[in-house]
Amino acid sequence: MQKTMKVLTIGDAMITMNPKETGPLRYVSTFERKVGGAELNFAIGCARLGLDTTWVSRLGDDEFGRVIYNFARGEGVQMSHVEFVEGHPTSVNFKEIREDGSGKTFYYRTNSPVLTFTKEQFTKELFAGIDVFHISGVFMAIDPQNVLLIQHLVKLAKEWGVTVSFDPNLRLKLWTIEEAREAFTLLWPYIDIVLTGLDEIELLLGYSDQGSLATFSDQHHIQDFVIKDGANGSLLYSEGKWVTAEAFPVTPIDTVGAGDGFDAAYIYASMQNLPASERLRVANGAGALVTTVSGDNEGLPYLAELNRFIKNESAIER
């Protein structure tokens, strides 16, 4: 009997208010309520691909917290490590979309519920039976204490021999590039899989050429160093060589969540022990599909849908 593969991730989630009108936010009066958050998007992406996925988080003991909890549970995410806390309202963000398609996001996550986490709450038993622990820079950017918590958790994960995957997911509205570099420097020795954007890694390391990235990866004993490059496809440095995969041609509607979908699919493919080129192809397919649907996580594909897409098969609708 095949072992059920288990994934664990930790992070904040938010209510996302999407404008139903274009223009400056001060003139917008109607919004559509959605659920978002990088780590939760990743968890949903993994669950839709059939992985046993646990999300660790805190939510405000309020109506928005219930919305997020019920939504994530309905997606099949394991919620045994999600708690409601008083005095810390559930995080919210508002999106602004201008007439030319450009936009901004305004975050309201001060006093986030995840600030109630303490290192003492977590022991290595959290990682019993877990195969992959996925972390994101977004969670660390919320507050300096989260950096210390993640450092604690990756050390516990390695005690169990758990694979650690990491998406820097830079949010320079939440912290400076200097703060991010300092925090990540302490993490690199514990990371097995890096999932990063090309521009992002250039900002973090000061270079993005393949030779320098290969040297960096070898120095830190990183198993898979993955570069996401949007419409240009993706690259992977693993076992001493680079592998590339072309992007799938789609007409993007909304790129939000595409990186999270890519991450989830790459982890899925890695856990299936697929060859390097196929891992990239599966991840590229998921990322492409996400961009064809508006919303933070609405486009995250189910496994059958993803398989049809990458095999260029048409579903029978009637």
Active site residues: 260
- Domain 6-11+39-56+122-310 fold is UDP-N-acetylmuramoyl-L-alanine:D-glutamate ligase (3.40.1190)
pLDDT tens, residue by residue, 38-64: 999 999 999 999 999 999 999 999 999
pLDDT tens, residue by residue, 131-146: 999 999 999 999 999 9
Residue 313 — pLDDT band, cuts 50, 70, 90? Answer: low
Residue 316 — pLDDT band, cuts 50, 70, 90? Answer: very low
* The two structure tokens encoding residue 272: 């299936």
pLDDT tens, residue by residue, 219-257: 999 999 999 998 999 999 999 999 999 999 988 887 888
Closest CA to 155 of 118, 194, 190: 190
How many whole angstroms separate alpha carbon 294 and alpha carbon 301?
A: 13
- The pLDDT score that the predictor gives to residue 2 is 56
Domain ranges of the chain: 6-11+39-56+122-310
Average pLDDT value over all residues in the chain: 93
Q: Report residue 58: phi and psi, to 5°.
A: -130, 140
What mean pLDDT is predicted for residues 203-214? 95
Pairing state of beta strands 52-60 and 91-97? unpaired
- The pLDDT score that the predictor gives to residue 110 is 86
SS3 49: coil
* The two structure tokens encoding residue 258: 């595409």
In Å, what is the CA distance from 219 to each residue of 1, 156, 190, 191, 275?
38, 22, 12, 12, 23
What mean pLDDT is predicted for residues 8-17? 96
Q: At what angle do helices 177-185 and 198-205 cross, to 10 degrees?
A: 80
Closest CA to 110 of 94, 86, 83, 90: 90
pLDDT tens, residue by residue, 79-106: 999 999 999 999 999 988 888 767 788 8
Edge-to-edge strand list for the sheet holding 224-228:
82-85, 52-60, 6-10, 132-136, 163-167, 193-197, 224-228, 234-238, 241-245
Give all strands (DSSP E) within the chain, no chain letters: 6-10, 14-19, 31-36, 52-60, 82-85, 91-97, 103-108, 132-136, 163-167, 193-197, 224-228, 234-238, 241-245
